[in-house]
Copies of this chain bind each other. A is one copy, B any other.
Amino acid sequence: MLINGLTDTSISANDRGLHYGDGVFETVRRHRGHLPFLQRHLARLTASCERLAIPLDLTLLQQELSALLSQAPPDAIIKIVITRGSGGRGYRPPRESAETLRLLQVHPLPAALRVDPPRETQHGVRVRLCHHTLSTNPATAGLKHLNRLDQVLASNEIAGYSDSDLDQGFDEGLMMTADGDVVEGIRSNLFIVREGEVLTPDLVRAGVAGIVRGFLLERLPAEGLKVTECRPGMNELTAAEEVFLCNSVFGVWPVIKLVENATVHSWSIGPVARKAIELYQTTLTAHDNSLQV
């Protein structure tokens, strides 16, 4: 773990990330020594810091990232946390910039993702509709900020979470706003296919603008698939021909079962999900035969 370039395991107890969630983060997959989606992560991080007016020295961050990677396994998850640092009187940020906190961590790649293709990608996942609702706010929707209590509380509803054991729980939870809009998974974005049209929630009021979501929005049209942002409710979701989830760590997961209280909705894995899987896997493994580690 590197904190502002130094090997450390602790941060100031005055950090504004702790006190207010005053910061943003990225979770980046390293695959065989490469970071295939890094430029997208850095672009989002830069844009998010600008929106929050948190100064970010991207060159310095990239140097620190290189230093971290030189010590990290070739397959891993890299977490980047940026906060406004310490200081200020109460909620108000300090008038003169505090030093931005740059926290870089290496986490092991989950065992399930070391299988190629992962079981969840190949056979689909079971998802639960969470009771805990997502906060809405057009002013911060889309940002991957550190205010993630909703995701913590929702993840308590799915046993087996991140253990990928289809027999013992749910692989992911689906989250709605209190108004009934289906927005995203706890840690993933949602795509549905209806009457041949690809749809994804618009994130105008809630949700995180995920890296693979952005990648698919760009890449699916070249495959002859129109993608439209919309605001689906449960009726639109359950009438869909295909449902799949994506994030930059696990890629694309077709949803085969959705448990909504006592009701179970089922889907098979369709052609759009397979195309999305192929696009993700191709980008992930594009450098597999190169020498860089």
Closest CB-CB distance, A73 to chain B, in whole Å? 17
Instruction: Decide if B90 touches A153 in the complex (CB within 8 Å).
Output: no
CB-nearest residue of chain B to A25: B19
Which of A130-138, A224-232, A257-265, A285-293 is near enough to bind chain B?
A130-138
Instruction: Please give the distance in Å from A143's CB to the nearest CB on chain B.
Output: 8
A136–B20 touching, CB < 8 Å: no
* A154 (CB) vs chain B CBs: closest residue: B91
Task: Specify the chain B residue showing the minimal Cβ separation from A147.
Answer: B147
Partner of A11, one of B13, B81, B136, B148: B13
User: Given contacts A91-B186, A136-B178, A152-B91, are A13 and B25 in contact (CB under 8 A)?
Assistant: no
Question: Do B13 and A18 touch across chains, with their CB atoms under 8 A apart?
Answer: no
Mask: chain A, 2-20; 1 = CB below 8 Å from B; 0 = not: 0100001111111111111
- The answer to whether B155 and A91 touch across the interface, beta carbons within 8 angstroms, is yes
Is there contact, CB below 8 Å, between B20 and A151? yes
Least CB distance from A10 to B in Å reads: 4
Most buried by B among A19, A25, A83: A19
Q: How far is the CB of A149 from chain B (nearest CB, A)?
A: 5
Within 118-163 of A, Cβ neighbours of B (below 8 Å) are at 132-140, 145-156, 158, 161-162
Known: A81-B18, A156-B53, A178-B205. A149 touches B149 (CB 8 A): no
Interface: A52 (CB within 8 A): yes
Q: Is the CB of B148 within 8 A of A20?
A: yes
On chain B, the residues within 8 Å of A184 by CB distance are none
Q: Find A20's partner among B3, B15, B103, B149 (CB 8 Å cutoff).
A: B149
**Could you tell me if A18 and B15 are in contact, using CB atoms closer than 8 angstroms?**
yes
A164 to chain B: closest CB distance in Å? 11
Contact of A92 among B25, B132, B156 (CB under 8 A): B156
A91 to B10, CA, bound (A): 20
A187 adjacent to chain B (CB < 8 Å) = yes
Least distance between A13 CB and chain B CB atoms (Å): 5
- Interface flags for A47-78 (1: CB within 8 Å of B; 0: not) read 00000110000000000000000000000000
| Option from B15, B21, B25 in Cβ contact (under 8 Å) with A148 | B21
A-B pairs with the 8 shortest C-beta distances?
A: A147-B147, A21-B21, A135-B137, A20-B148, A10-B10, A92-B155, A91-B151, A135-B135
- Identify 4 new A-B residue pairs, CB closer than 8 A, beyond the known A9-B12, A21-B149: A9-B14, A11-B11, A84-B152, A135-B136
